[in-house]
Chain A
């Protein structure tokens, strides 16, 4: 079995096993026909109602769901890439949520407060969000490098600091729309029309420029990691910091760079959410896309293209999730599938041992060993 297949198969198996487990869960809490129907709804909500489209010919039946799926996928893709980039340098970025929050707020403020032509306003807001996210992430990286604080703890703490300060102070206090008046609205002021991310398909879908942008970013990250010198050095630090230092790679600078990039990507996700669909910073950011990024990244095998695939897949499921409410099922259902998939990916050594045993057992004797063998030493992808 080739190494590439060995890297990809556990993720694929995990996703299918998760789908099966969740199907059983509906079958248990409701019944089997409802479970099947729910999956069909999920597909229709994410990929469009093709049967109805072929009958009636209205193209919005396809463009609307597909657009929603693309919007969700672009957010998942960027937060997933954020986690991936940090992983490559050997850091675990649990703080994508906080970085995204800070980025979203910055985008909302730049979008609402500045007066610029559209050609400058959108890039300014995107850039502002990236910088804010990067700075938030650099706190964790700086603490790690100078004071030896473990990044898992510091990013979890920074998430809660961001939520407390943004959602419980800035958005309900100084930055609330109509602050100082008796107006009782939640969230910040609407962003200016010049800061809206342009819609790609007009009124037939909410699909906006963010989706191609996210795909382009994924491609760029892939090229950077695989082909450029700094990308190679970043990966080298992640594989062995001491060896990298001995080879003359500036370990600290690569860590700071990668963590800053990770924060910028998460901040960009926040900007897409605000400039593309919400059009202001809402009372709270809603779905924890930052935490989803961890799942997306690991299911995608920490490879930019794998992350893109898993983001697209779960984007479709997420978009379909809203459709589940028609069946009186929770719209958090796709997140459940995602959680189980991550759990099974966490046990990828189990999959690998299983695959290896099948391979060795098949040509010779059908007798399987009673005790599972010690797990093989497999380098992590």
Chain B
């Protein structure tokens, strides 16, 4: 029993960083009032660029490249949505389509359809003290990114709720005109948030291709970006809520994989499709239950126009 729990915990810690980073990125963007359904595309771009960069440079640097690539895609989103006040959902979906087809195209024309050549995976930290203790053993043997994923939500929480910058970011998503009245730049704050979300979504993608796997595969990130979106909504647009939701989704995923490998008999009773659908159904149910009392930022999805009220 303890071993099973340990395996589940370890597997959750292995899979959660990508989801946590992307979901936090999405949350940052949406708290500033800009919808970001392009997370999937930014993750894909980050994953691809990190995998390609890691072929010729050390893996940690390659992860930075992946983050910058995600931010580059986000800058297109920002340009269209902030500078030109385009429809934010349309722009995000367009970025998804471009990243999906573009990733496949570049992969096939540069490396063939099966994925990029294998790269040096990020080093895993084996903690000598922990590997003796039962249960806590699960925390050993993960990359630094797992630890970052465990700390980052608290950093986000601190920035959003304890610093002036966080107050401004939240305000610009609730009532941008009030922010403008204070002489602050609405566009500047939103740019900051959008670029930041690109960085973190790119980091999430880079995590997939450098820590979870050792290459970029054709279907990376296979819907994880949309899952991140669900985690953000499920977590009611707060850093810690988002973190918990992402952990929950990763645990559900770990449970599914664990069940498939350790107890194949159980999958006869509970089909795998049910477990796959579970996080999405739960998100829908929760949204339906909380009803009109919405937790979304008030100005989410509305482009800022100085003249409007």
Q: Is B90 in the interface zone, CB < 8 Å from A? A: yes
B109/A30 in contact, CB under 8 A: yes
Q: Which chain A residue has the least Cβ–Cβ distance from B35?
A: A152
- If A149-B287, A160-B277 touch, does A330 touch B105 (CB 8 Å cutoff)? yes
A339/B94 in contact, CB under 8 A: yes
Number of interface residues, chain B, beta carbon within 8 A: 52
Q: Is A4 in the interface zone, CB < 8 Å from B? A: no
**8 Å CB interface, B275-289 against A:** 276-277, 280-281, 283-284, 287-289
Residues in A with CB closer than 8 Å to B257 are none
Q: Is A161 in the interface zone, CB < 8 Å from B? A: yes
A161/B280 in contact, CB under 8 A: yes
Q: Is B98 in the interface zone, CB < 8 Å from A? A: yes
B226/A148 in contact, CB under 8 A: no
Interface-lining segment among B1-9, B80-88, B116-124, B166-174: B80-88
Q: Among B93, B95, B227, B289, which residue has its beta carbon within 8 angstroms of that of A291?
A: B93
- Residue from B94, B100, B274, B276 whose CB has the most chain A CB atoms within 10 Å: B94
B288/A147 in contact, CB under 8 A: yes
Residues in B with CB closer than 8 Å to A154 are 284, 287
Interface membership of chain B positions 242-280, coded 1 if the CB is closer than 8 angstroms to chain A and 0 otherwise: 000000000000000000000000000001111011001
Q: Among B94, B233, B271, B289, which residue has its beta carbon within 8 angstroms of that of A153?
A: B233
- Residue from A152, A157, A165, A172 whose CB has the most chain B CB atoms within 10 Å: A157
Distance A16 CA – B165 CA, assembled complex (angstroms): 42
Distance A349 CA – B90 CA, assembled complex (angstroms): 13
Closest Cβ of chain A to B273, distance in Å, is: 3
Distance A128 CA – B158 CA, assembled complex (angstroms): 53
Distance A165 CA – B288 CA, assembled complex (angstroms): 20
- If A153-B229, A161-B281, A173-B271 touch, does A342 touch B94 (CB 8 Å cutoff)? yes
Q: Among A158, A173, A329, A349, which residue has its beta carbon within 8 angstroms of that of B273?
A: A173
A295/B94 in contact, CB under 8 A: yes
Residues in B with CB closer than 8 Å to A167 are 273
Distance A328 CA – B104 CA, assembled complex (angstroms): 13
Q: Among A160, A172, A342, which residue has its beta carbon within 8 angstroms of that of B226?
A: A160
Q: Is A9 in the interface zone, CB < 8 Å from B? A: no
Interface membership of chain A positions 80-94, coded 1 if the CB is closer than 8 angstroms to chain B and 0 otherwise: 000000000000101
Q: Among B93, B101, B276, B289, which residue has its beta carbon within 8 angstroms of that of A168?
A: B276
Residues in A with CB closer than 8 Å to B76 are 343
Q: Is A164 in the interface zone, CB < 8 Å from B? A: yes
Q: Is A375 in the interface zone, CB < 8 Å from B? A: yes
Binding site for B on A (CB under 8 A): 25, 29-30, 92, 94, 143, 147-150, 152-154, 156-161, 163-170, 172-173, 291, 294-295, 298, 328-330, 332-333, 335-336, 338-340, 342-343, 345-350, 375, 380
Give the 7 A-B CB pairs with smallest separation, nearest first. Answer: A169-B273, A339-B97, A164-B276, A168-B273, A164-B277, A336-B101, A339-B98
- List 7 other contacts, CB 8 Å, given A160-B277, A332-B104: A29-B110, A295-B94, A298-B90, A329-B108, A346-B87, A347-B84, A348-B86
